[in-house]
Structure 1
Amino acid sequence: MMFGLALRSLRHRTGAFAAAFCATFFGGTLVMAFASLLDTAVADGVPAASRETLITMASVVGGWGLIMVAFSVTSTLSLAVRQRTDEIALLKSVGATPAQIRRMIVGEAAVLGLVGTLAAIVPALLGGRLVLDLLIETDQVAPGVEHAFGPLALTIGMAVTFAGSTFAALLTARRTTRMRVTETLLEAGTQGGRTSRKRVVFGILFLLLGANLAVVTATVMRDKGTDAMQTAGQTSIWVAVGFALLSPMLLRASAAMLAGPLAAAGAAGYLARHNLSGRAQQLSGALMPIILFTGIATGTLYMQRVDDAALAADGLLSTVEQENIKTLNFVVIGMLVLFAAIMLINTLIATTTDRRGEFAGQRLTGATPRQVLAVTGLEAAVLTVVGVAFGTVAALCTIVPFTIARTGEPLPDATPAIYAGVVAVAALLALITSLATTRRALHTPAVKAVAV
């Protein structure tokens, strides 16, 4: 019965589940594209050097991609369930048991995971072929190697996206079903919810892991040359993930610190500050990809810049191995940054679209569309500032230790244009997506939006 309800819920609430579907689709595409390099590597006739490069690329890039995909799927599914707390409270009030609600939520996630994975097969095949062409063009893989898309790509893709979606749904459903009806109704009305203890613990653990790698890079890996990238490259990712897990708490604290500047913006600033504090659990979904985007892109780009400068200063020519590392770094940057950008746009659209009733209520009480846009614009601006700030801290955890290890100096002698470019992209993505989605939501008549 609950599985049938899950199917009807998906048909009726396609917009609410669009973000979760996009996460599984793009995640499946990313994971299967790089997993196909393993199918290519184990094919007959592949030279040993090419096989090693393909396995390294699939393992490193695919491994980090797996973490990002799991993170994104869990975030979007949690958002989709939180947006339905009133519906879940109603089901509880009419007699639905926790086990039945769990089966419904997990059933929805299983269908999304399966459909998203199947839809990702063709794009993943094309993406894997493009990556292989890149490796051949840069002389890292022999020209005669043919791309293969077989059981490894399909198995890994299904395991990550389908199993990941189901596991994320189980975690989300467990918290929701543990709450009493009155607690669920209260959360539905306030749009609040505290950050779970487990999330805080894992966030702190990731931060400690990043700090440990930073110390190791600056001390143990000093004067180890390019090998210092092995620890430095991971640092910004772990620290960014740690901050992302703690993002609801960081957003509430930042909103309190920015109360003065927001108050200067008048009524729009007051509402923006109230929303950032009261809806921190929901809006933190948009904060997470900004932190990841800024931290990973800035940290890895400057790390590669420092390594190139150190090699030039030593009068060394780039070897094939060093070119492989450079290509790997840029592929990692491109893949993770692209996925973080998609995650940001996806989450902002889902979060803003779900607020149509809120926007309609503001308009019915006298707010103009311009004033509603001003509120969401200020919220996006604060999200960008906070996300960039903590993303910058994560990036510095890679840049400073690696620069010390390679040059003995704490800061790199590099252009600030790289950082400015990363910040500009993050700001544009957040502002344009938020304002465009709000403008679209305002096209619906206020009375009709409230009724929906």
Structure 2
Amino acid sequence: MIATKLAFSSLRHRPTGFVASFVAMFFGTTILMTFASLLDTRATADPETAKTLLIMASVVGGWGLVIVLFATLSTLSLLTRQRAPEMALLKSAGATPSQIGRMIVGEAAVVAVLAAATAVVPSVFAGRWLVTLLGETGRIPAGLEARFGLIAVSMGTGITLFAALVAATIAARQVTRRGTTDAIRDAGIDTRPTGRLRMIAAGIVLASGLGCGVLTMTVFTGTEPALMAVGGQGAILAAIGFALLSPALLGPIAAALAAPLRRAGVSGQLTAAHLRVRGRQLAGVLVPIILFTGIATGTLYMQAIENSAGTAPATIANSIETLNYVVVGMIALFAAVMLVNTVVAALIGRRREFGQQRLIGSTPAQVLRLVGTEGTVLVAVGVLFGSLSAVVTVVPYSVARTGSPAPDETIGVYLAVVAITVVLTLGSHVGAAAKTMRTPAIQAGTRG
């Protein structure tokens, strides 16, 4: 009962965290319900059409599921870690670790249910649009009636709720197992090494991505229907693997950049210090950058290579191209929303820190320069590892389809993806920081 009251009270008094969690789950649930609705539609289709819809829902929806689950876990973990001092104060006031854990899990459950309920209406229209598109591209009979029913709602709600509960449970365990005194003393500082299980999972996922690349180059001849599916999985798996490694990657990167950043002035010195002591929190921002850059670049270049090869009949090629652009568009849009959402949530959570900096003499312009420097480092690191993820798909697919590891396609596609990533990252960094500047320094520095 106490945990339930604390959960609802926390949601009322932490609107930023609530909105960030809601946005992540809402967009994730919408994607899941949209593709799951194909399973509702197949109930009235002929056997061949039903098979096509099942494959589409399983393959495309399956990879969307992996990305949505991972992004939701990352966002909720970041938001819970930001509240470590609050959890420590609750423990010092007499709350037990189990009560705090139930409060965090209860909050996540409430947000997940609200997000799933809100996602139903847009998912209905998105599902209809997807079925119409499949009909227009010849993948299924034109005019097939789209259905949206129990399968879509139950899968979307169930998976979102499951992801939220798992993320909240893991995050709560990380927060509550620390001693009260240590948590209060180390508020905002987290230099613990990356967990062994996370490192093992990252290694397995990265190896799987590289395996997809090797299979693409060595097993397929370049004409099999499964080539694009296997090749595309390489970039997705590699991006997730690098994202899992991001907390461990920031340590060596911070050490390598320490000297150059110090020469950049006060903002550079503070950025170097933050990379060292805030590695876990800043790594949360890297996740959507890596996912967006890797998946968008890998899939777009793979389709460009396919277009240049031109071995498939025109109608089939156009159909595949349209569907690929729809899929990459939906996933890239989700990653872009997550990027902005994560950055805003991370920076709004540092309102107190920025207020204290202003109280000791920093001007708003200096705080913004600090945030801009941090954002520049993070976007550079994120683009680097996102690009490496894309290589796992682009090079093997180019070898399989053209015999050359370097595709002939223009570099303009890659530069466009990078430009969008930079604009989204730096724009959300500076915009969120500017919003925190509107709060008076005394109020922000004392209340957070």
Bin of the TM-score, shorter chain as denominator length: over 0.9
Counterpart selection for 1:405 from 397, 400, 407: 400
Which deviates further from its counterpart, 397-406 or 175-184?
Answer: 175-184
Q: Deviations over 1:241-276 (max 9, x none)?
A: 000011112123222222233223211111122122
Does residue 281 in structure 1 map to residue 280 in structure 2?
yes
Gaps of 5+ in 1: none
Counterpart selection for 1:328 from 301, 323, 328: 323
Contact 2:138–2:319, Cα closer than 8 Å, also in 1? no
The residue aligned with 1:31 is 32
Between the aligned partners of 2:186 and 2:120, the Cα distance in structure 1 is 38
Offset, 1:55: 2.2
Offset, 1:317: 3.2
User: Structure 2 matches for 1:6-405, cutoff 5 A?
Assistant: 6-43=7-44, 46-311=45-310, 317-320=313-316, 322-405=317-400
Between the aligned partners of 2:219 and 2:332, the Cα distance in structure 1 is 29
User: For residue 292 of structure 1, what is the amino acid of its counterpart?
Assistant: L
Q: Deviations over 1:37-76 (max 9, x none)?
A: 1111212xx3444333322222222111111111121111
Between the aligned partners of 1:157 and 1:397, the Cα distance in structure 2 is 30
Offset, 1:325: 3.0
Does residue 450 in structure 1 map to residue 432 in structure 2?
no
Contact 2:74–2:287, Cα closer than 8 Å, also in 1? no
Q: Residue 193 of structure 2: SS of its match in structure 1? A: coil
Q: Deviations over 1:12-33 (max 9, x none)?
A: 2122222111111111111111
Q: Residue 187 of structure 2: SS of its match in structure 1? A: helix
Which deviates further from its counterpart, 374-383 or 247-256?
Answer: 247-256
Between the aligned partners of 1:136 and 1:451, the Cα distance in structure 2 is 59
Counterpart selection for 2:411 from 400, 408, 416: 416
Q: Deviations over 1:100-152 (max 9, x none)?
A: 22211111111111111111111111211222222223232322211211000
Contact 1:297–1:333, Cα closer than 8 Å, also in 2? yes
Which deviates further from its counterpart, 200-209 or 12-21?
Answer: 12-21
User: For residue 314 of structure 2, what is the amino acid of its counterpart?
Assistant: S
Contact 2:305–2:409, Cα closer than 8 Å, also in 1? yes
CA RMSD, Structure 1 to Structure 2 (Å): 1.7
The residue aligned with 1:430 is 425
Contact 1:269–1:375, Cα closer than 8 Å, also in 2? yes
Offset, 1:304: 1.2
Between the aligned partners of 1:344 and 1:139, the Cα distance in structure 2 is 34
Between the aligned partners of 1:187 and 1:40, the Cα distance in structure 2 is 53
Q: Deviations over 1:354-381 (max 9, x none)?
A: 1111111111122111111111111111
Contact 2:359–2:445, Cα closer than 8 Å, also in 1? no
Q: Deviations over 1:175-210 (max 9, x none)?
A: 222222233234425254432221111111111111
Gaps of 5+ in 2: none
Contact 1:210–1:235, Cα closer than 8 Å, also in 2? yes
Which deviates further from its counterpart, 345-354 or 80-89?
Answer: 80-89
Between the aligned partners of 1:50 and 1:375, the Cα distance in structure 2 is 55
Between the aligned partners of 1:211 and 1:94, the Cα distance in structure 2 is 50
Q: Residue 42 of structure 1: SS of its match in structure 2? A: helix
User: For residue 327 of structure 1, what is the amino acid of its counterpart?
Assistant: T
Between the aligned partners of 1:199 and 1:290, the Cα distance in structure 2 is 19
Between the aligned partners of 2:250 and 2:304, the Cα distance in structure 1 is 32
Contact 1:195–1:248, Cα closer than 8 Å, also in 2? yes
Which deviates further from its counterpart, 412-421 or 62-71?
Answer: 62-71
Q: Residue 413 of structure 1: SS of its match in structure 2? A: coil
Q: % of aligned pairs identical?
A: 47
What is the TM-score when the length of structure 1 is the normalising length? 0.94
Offset, 1:227: 3.4
User: For residue 167 of structure 2, what is the amino acid of its counterpart?
Assistant: A
Q: Deviations over 1:315-367 (max 9, x none)?
A: x53353x4443233222211110110011000000001111111111111221
Q: Residue 405 of structure 2: SS of its match in structure 1? A: coil
Which deviates further from its counterpart, 11-20 or 378-387?
Answer: 11-20
